Chain A
């Protein structure tokens, strides 16, 4: 029983539910993440992924269910509180101001200060040094940290957002569709930094609808469907094909394959009759 001996997971949720007015966005979601692992939360559009993210990061309080950080039950009332407890979220929209420099974006909302009283000010020199060191540690190369974030590619921006979260003491890193808007090469860059973060001991929750990217990096997989978790599988327990099947809700995908097959056969018959 190695499970019982191991430390409690960094973050664990049980039976989370949340509705908005009459619409139930999340009905029964359970999952957990341990230090140094990538937990992929997979689901189609409307499966409850973004509601889960917002609940984990303190934007929404759940209506029902428990949330435990290192075994201790908590209620996160604000993103600030979540951050203070080591949960950092990197959102799909990158959470960056395009016209603002890398340094200023990196420290947005958590600026290092110097000076006293009315002369307390943003310590830009220190901030710059930290950013250079952190990007270097993650193996990210930018020409100039005072450059506007808007000049960077999507992959670079994601990577900087990840470096930022890791720097601010994230023990749990929640990534919202980090690869969805990216090409294959850019997605590769981002996944490499996800692996870096894992190697540095973070528990990574990677939320995505792309099972191919998830398969590349994930250690365990939780599948969401219509606001309910459909079970958690480790990489040894499941194949990529099964993962895709379960994600799409199994039978629906089968029906679709069947239907498309019929259509192709129909086309062939039509083409044959024309000849």
Chain B
């Protein structure tokens, strides 16, 4: 019973049930409970959830990545430009974007572990560099800020089947999200690397003294968040058959919000990928539920912000109990 109460994702699980019940009550009749309605919020949740899974791992290891939002723009634009301008196969474009994202993640991680600067600052820098670089490069090459026509790219059909098809009305990204959440949870809780993630975030000096390669763990996780951003960009580029330099703006903060809603500690050493998935689900349900409830969608952020603060208060209380419990 105690161990159940101490699980980081418990609060978020209760949140999911509460939010779902709330909107079922107030917006159930207007489409929240419908097949299509569920598919909409699950699609929103799935893309954020993929980011949040990686971001929560990184946060458990004690670091932030603010560059994931602009990485989405950069990756989407890379795919589109390679296909539209150079006539590459879409798979070639995706491969280049993935290599780019891994490179950016590696650079983020390397700068953080070498300089020991806060990752908040380092990745804030890469946020601006990537976002500025994407706009600059796109305008230089095309003179516009949007590039479309991806559906004419070579092998678009196969990419669409994998990244943008629908199964029974649901976006295939939901499957990806579930797969990635299960995989990340398994890595975190059942592998040696997962234990090192906890160590790197909870007591980095101690972990290093015990032989945990903390810098490598962190660099790998920065590469993972960046790669997941690229994956989300791929979903969007294929789905919208093009890219926009502003796509992904603000996603870095939404992913942190989802992770924190899910019980991940801002200072590292504690958290859950399943919790982050619940956090993303809450995000999707609120964003879409408010529309169904007939409230202007401009207001959903107010609701989310308030939830975030409540979630952090609850989590802090539970953790306090967990560590102080016996003295």
B213 CB → nearest A CB, Å: 9
Which of A91, A109, A121 contacts B196, CB < 8 Å?
A109
* Min distance, Cβ B50 to any Cβ of chain A, angstroms: 21
Q: How many residues on chain A are close to B (CB under 8 Å)?
A: 34
Q: Say which one of A40-48, A144-152, A187-195, A220-228 lies at the interface with B.
A: A144-152
A98→B202 contact, CB < 8 A = yes
Pick from B195, B323, B325: contact of A122, CB below 8 A. Answer: B195
In the complex, what distance in Å separates the CA atom of A83 from the CA atom of B191?
Answer: 22
Q: Which of B189-248 contact A (CB under 8 A)?
A: 190-192, 194-196, 198-199, 201-203, 205-212
A97 touching B191 by the CB < 8 A rule?
A: no
Cα-based distance from A183 to B194 in the complex (angstroms):
35
Closest to A78 in B: B211
Q: Is the CB of A34 closer than 8 A to any CB of chain B?
A: no
What's the Cα separation between A152 and B322 when bound, in Å? 11
Mark the stretch among A17-25, A99-107, A245-253 that contacts chain B. Answer: A99-107
Q: Cα distance A152–B6 when bound, in Å? A: 15
Residue from A59, A97, A111, A153 within 8 A of B209 (CB atoms):
A59
A96→B203 contact, CB < 8 A: yes
Determine the main DSSP class of A at the interface with B. Answer: loop
Interface: B269 (CB within 8 A):
yes
Q: Which residue on chain B has the smallest CB distance to residue A168?
A: B210
Cβ-defined contact, A110 with B210, below 8 A: yes
Which residues of chain A are within 8 angstroms of B3 by Cβ–Cβ distance?
144, 146
Interface centre among B6, B191, B192, B323 (most CB of A within 10 A): B192
Q: Is the CB of B269 within 8 A of A97?
A: yes
The answer to whether A93 and B211 touch (CB under 8 A), given A98-B269, A99-B269, A108-B199, is: no
* Whole-angstrom CA separation of A47 from B82 in the bound complex: 63
CA distance A124 to B205 in the complex (A): 24
* Range for the number of chain B residues in contact with chain A: 20 to 34
Contact check, A151 vs B325: say whether CB atoms are below 8 A apart.
Answer: yes
Asked if B327 is an interface residue, CB under 8 A from chain A, the answer is yes
B32 CB to nearest A CB, Å: 36
B251 within 8 A of A: no
A112 CB to closest chain B CB (Å) equals: 9
- Contact between B192 and A57 (Cβ–Cβ < 8 Å)? no
Minimal Cβ-Cβ distance residue in A for B208: A79
Given contacts A97-B202, A99-B322, A100-B269, contact A122 B192 (CB under 8 A): yes
Asked if residues B323 and A148 are in contact (CB atoms below 8 Å), the reply is yes
Kindly state whether residue A80 has any CB partner on chain B within 8 Å.
Answer: yes
Q: Is B326 part of the binding interface, using a Cβ–Cβ cutoff of 8 Å?
A: yes
Contacts of B270 in A (CB 8 A): 99-100
Q: Which residues of B contact A181 (CB under 8 A)?
A: none
CA distance A100 to B210 in the complex (A): 15
A94 at interface by CB-CB < 8 Å: yes
- Picked from A99, A120, A144, the residue with its CB within 8 Å of the CB of B191 is A120
A55 at the interface (CB under 8 A from B): no
> Do A95 and B203 touch (CB < 8 A)?
yes
- B275 to chain A minimum Cβ distance, whole angstroms, is 14
Query: Does chain A have a CB within 8 A of B265?
Result: yes
Q: How far is the CA of A110 from the CA of B210 in the complex (A)?
A: 8
- The residue from B186, B212, B269, B325 contacting A109, defined by CB atoms under 8 A apart: B212
A119 to chain B, nearest CB (A): 10
Most buried by A among B196, B203, B269, B324: B203
Shortest C-beta distance, B255 to chain A (Å), equals 21
- Give the chain B neighbours of A104 by CB distance below 8 A: 195, 198
Q: How far is the CA of A189 from the CA of B224 in the complex (A)?
A: 44
Known contacts A95-B203, A150-B322, A100 near B198 by CB under 8 Å: yes
A146 and B3 CA atoms in complex are apart in Å by: 8
**Contact assessment for A97 and B192 in the assembled complex, using a CB-CB cutoff below 8 Å:** no
User: Smallest CB–CB gap between B283 and chain A, Å?
Assistant: 25
- Whether A108 lies near B195 (C-beta < 8 A) is yes
Given the interface contacts A108-B195, A122-B190, does A100 sit within 8 Å of B209 by beta carbon? no
Contacts of A124 in B (CB 8 A): 190
> Counting CB contacts under 8 A, is A260 at the interface?
no
Specify which chain A residues have a CB less than 8 angstroms from the CB of B209 in the assembled complex: 57, 59, 79, 89, 91, 95
Asked if B211 contacts A150 (CB within 8 A), the reply is: no
Q: A107-B195, A108-B212 are in contact. Are A91 and B206 (CB under 8 A)?
A: yes
| Shortest distance from the beta carbon of B86 to any chain A beta carbon, whole Å | 35
Closest B residue to A100 using CB positions: B198
A64-87: CB near B (< 8 Å → 1, else 0) gives 000000000000001110010000
Q: Does A113 contact B (CB under 8 A)?
A: yes
Residues in B161-211 with C-beta less than 8 Å from chain A? 186, 190-192, 194-196, 198-199, 201-203, 205-211
Cβ-closest chain A residue relative to B325: A151
> Complex Cα distance A174/B319, Å?
32
Offer 9 A-B interface pairs, CB within 8 angstroms, sorted by A.
Answer: A93-B203, A95-B203, A95-B210, A99-B198, A99-B319, A99-B322, A110-B210, A122-B190, A153-B327
Sample of 15 further A-B pairs with CB below 8 A, known A91-B209, A122-B191:
A78-B211, A79-B209, A83-B211, A89-B209, A93-B205, A95-B210, A97-B206, A97-B207, A98-B203, A100-B202, A109-B207, A109-B210, A122-B190, A122-B192, A151-B324
B residues within 8 Å of A by Cβ?
Answer: 3, 6, 186, 190-192, 194-196, 198-199, 201-203, 205-212, 265, 269-270, 319, 322-327
State the 9 A-B residue pairs at the shortest beta-carbon distance, nearest first.
A97-B202, A150-B323, A109-B210, A95-B206, A99-B270, A109-B211, A111-B192, A80-B211, A109-B212
